Structure 1
Amino acid sequence: MPRSTEAARAARRAGNQPADAAAAVPATKIADLWLGQHLRGLRKMHDLSLEQLAERCGLSVGALSQIERGLTSPTMRSLRRLSEVFNVPMSQLFHEGDLPPVEELGRIVRAQGRRVLSLNTTGVQKELLTPAANGALEIYLVTIAPGGSSGPELYTHKGEEGGYVMAGEMVLEIEDRVFHLKTGDSFRFKSQTPHRFANETTQETVVVWTNVVG
């Protein structure tokens, strides 16, 4: 099923809209609706109320409710916390692309088969370039819109990460150090070190980002 068609159906289910109204929903809104519906499903599967989930992940009930209804998208820090509470890898929160042939499962990812995570409120889109299998290596194509960021706060998670700036510029904060990266620059650091990233320019930034889950 094409990604846009599946997302439109998710939008209709989430908002109880007729087909012609859902078709007019902007792609960014559809992405928020899909992610919110997916997170609500995980919460229900774990038999958690909004209040219980809020206590475990450190977000407010109001913020979680807005995320589940597709009214806003979480920051990278919030999404990491939610994936830890639900005990699922980040890749499981991405919208699925086209299914690959059996012989390519776990080995090859075609362009149209990439899993995509769009955090429109913060201006970040992540495309998973590696198969969504139980491996330690995850490679992403990260697009950061002008003014976009991982969120206002530093965050941590398990593993190690590195990347290469393909286009544009990026501010990378690691603990109390601020690095201004330009096209062609690269980086590496321990993911347990508090960090955040941002695009403070008026041009889009594209980064190939690698995570090794420890």
Structure 2
Amino acid sequence: MTKAIHGDDKRRIGERLRLRRKLRGMALKHVAEKSGLSVGMLSQVERGLITPSIKSMRSICDALEMPVIWLFEGPAEQSDDDIEFVVRRPFRRDISYENGAILKEILTPDTQPKIQMLRFVLEPGADSGEPYSNAEGGKCGLVLRGTLELELNGRRLNIREGDSFAFPAQALVRFWNEGQQPCEVIWVVAPATV
């Protein structure tokens, strides 16, 4: 049985979509083009005036590069007093890649788009894929356990447990775990990207 979405839920979904859109630096028009929906409808969804169909919700989330589940999980259960600044452990959002070989947990609230802290866990053999970069900002991290292989602009670096690193976000980066044990990394990005 599905639960109907009412008042506060509509408002929360709209707020999360607006925060995500702003975090991604996208105009309503761009989201409308990518999702195939009208600007007017998206505006009403963001203001909590209407609830999109499941199909429309998926289209919006695809355009914003976010899982639909993020609209319904996590910080909604946290106290309104701390939700702007604190992400309680049980309410962390996560994404997995490579059939679960890479787990990414988002440790900072969406209300702070100028910086983002992530926790990565890479299983042995996990690889981030082709090198990528961001248009602005910087990245840094700390390896909590295991060894991280990091490639920056074609230069390969071996980052061991306890080592930290930093580089400009414009650098082409790729990372992987060649070890036999999982690798855990705290990764910080400014501005936020996820």
Which runs of structure 1 show a deviation greater than 6 angstroms over 4 or more consecutive aligned residues? 42-45
CA distance in structure 2 between the aligned counterparts of 1:134 and 1:199, rounded to whole angstroms: 30
Aligned pair 1:46/2:23, yes or no?
A: no
Aligned pair partner of 1:144 in 122, 130, 134: 122
Corresponding residue number in structure 2 for 1:168: 146
TM-score by length of 2: 0.62
User: Rg: which structure is higher?
Assistant: 2
One-letter code aligned to 1:138: Q
- Larger proportion of helix: 1
CA distance in structure 1 between the aligned counterparts of 2:101 and 2:172, rounded to whole angstroms: 20
Larger CA deviation: 92-101 vs 176-185:
92-101
Q: Percent identity?
A: 29
Shift in alpha-carbon separation, 1:183–1:198, aligned structure 2, 3 A: same
The Cα shift of 1:177 comes to: 0.6
Aligned pair partner of 2:180 in 202, 205, 208: 202
Q: How does 1:31-110 map to 2 (within 5 A)?
A: 46-47=35-36, 86=63, 88=64, 92-93=66-67, 95=70, 96-98=73-75, 99-110=77-88
Name which structure has the greater RCO, CA cutoff 8 Å, separation 6+: 2
Corresponding residue number in structure 2 for 1:74: none
TM-score by length of 1: 0.56
RMSD: 2.8
Q: Which runs of 5+ in 2 are unaligned?
A: 3-30, 38-57
One-letter code aligned to 1:178: R
Q: How many residues align?
A: 136
Corresponding residue number in structure 1 for 2:131: 154
Q: Which runs of 5+ in 1 are unaligned?
A: 1-8, 10-41, 49-67, 69-82
The Cα shift of 1:135 comes to: 2.1
Larger CA deviation: 118-127 vs 140-149:
118-127
State the Cα deviation string for residues 65-85 of structure 1 (Å, max 9, x = none).
xxx9xxxxxxxxxxxxxx9x9
